[in-house]
């Protein structure tokens, strides 16, 4: 009887599972920085995109290491934190191979990441510099239009939100949002004292980034 009940439970549970065609992940890196921040951000963004863009993104908060071969399973990798970042030679070589093979890295400055991430990205692309993307760049004009560029989710130093990119042979391989706290706006309501308007702006911009990533 117990075996029958167990079988019924498994069948019922499996019937509610969804087969997703896309996986996204958060980047785990060395150096001591809080790579694990914004724990509810990616699941919420995935759900928002699935509902509004009709994508099929797995909403699990998956983690992938910079030097792992598993990174090639994810067309979009999200990186956040506001502490030290360290890429060793293996990490840098693997990340470069991933990005040149069609992968996409989104760096989300969680206030304080800038001075650490810029020199580490030079290990991956020594020949490239971050360039600020113009407001007419396609990443701001996907499903949702942002004619003034990135929305400002959290205020810190009175600086404007800026979107930077690493462009390799005409392709945007890395998008870096600075002074924006975009991922904070993806978090569960109540974690930050953000208005629904701010949270919606953040999710819409995140949806644009994913839509751009999947189509370029």
pLDDT at residue 16 greater than cutoff 60 = no
> For 116-132, how does the pLDDT look when each residue is reduced to its tens digit (9 = 90+)?
999 999 999 999 999 99
Q: How many CB atoms lie within 10 A of CB 64?
A: 21
Domains and CATH numbers, the chain: 24-215 (3.40.50.12140)
The pLDDT of residue 83 is 87
N residues, the chain: 216
pLDDT digits (tens, 9 = 90+) for 170-195: 999 999 999 998 999 999 988 888 88
Q: What are phi and psi of 145, to 5 degrees?
A: -100, 130
* pLDDT for the residue numbered 114: 94
> At residue 3, does pLDDT exceed 80?
no
Can you spell out the DSSP letters for 107-174?
EEE-SS-HHHHHHHHHHH-TT---EEPPTTSGGGBSSSB-TTSS---S-SSSPPPEEEEEEETTEEEE
Rounded to an integer, the average pLDDT of 152-169 is 90
Per-residue pLDDT at 155 exceeds 50: yes
Mean pLDDT score of the chain: 90
Look up the pTM and report it.
0.90
For residues 38-42, average pLDDT: 92
pLDDT tens profile 85-107 = 999 999 999 999 999 999 999 99
110 or 5, higher pLDDT: 110
């Amino acid at each position: 009887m117990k075996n029958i009940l167990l079988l019924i439970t498994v069948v019922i549970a499996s019937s509610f599972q969804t087969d997703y065609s896309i996986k996204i992940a958060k980047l785990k890196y060395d150096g001591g920085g809080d790579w694990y921040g914004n724990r509810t951000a990616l699941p919420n963004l995935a759900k928002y995109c699935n509902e509004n863009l009709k994508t099929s993104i797995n909403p699990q908060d998956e983690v992938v290491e910079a030097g792992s071969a598993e990174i090639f399973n994810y067309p979009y990798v999200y990186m956040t934190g506001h502490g030290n970042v360290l890429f060793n030679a293996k990490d840098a070589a693997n990340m470069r191979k991933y990005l040149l093979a069609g992968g996409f890295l989104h760096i989300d400055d969680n206030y304080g990441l800038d001075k650490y991430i810029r020199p580490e990205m030079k290990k991956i692309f020594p020949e490239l510099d971050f360039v600020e993307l113009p407001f007419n760049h396609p990443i701001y004009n996907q499903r949702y239009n942002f004619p003034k560029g990135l929305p400002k989710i959290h205020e810190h130093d009175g600086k404007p939100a800026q979107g930077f990119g690493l462009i390799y042979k005409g392709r945007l391989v890395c998008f870096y949002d600075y002074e924006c706290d975009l991922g904070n706006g993806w978090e569960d309501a109540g974690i930050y004292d953000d208005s629904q308007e701010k949270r919606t702006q953040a999710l819409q911009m995140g949806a644009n980034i994913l839509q751009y990533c999947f189509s370029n």
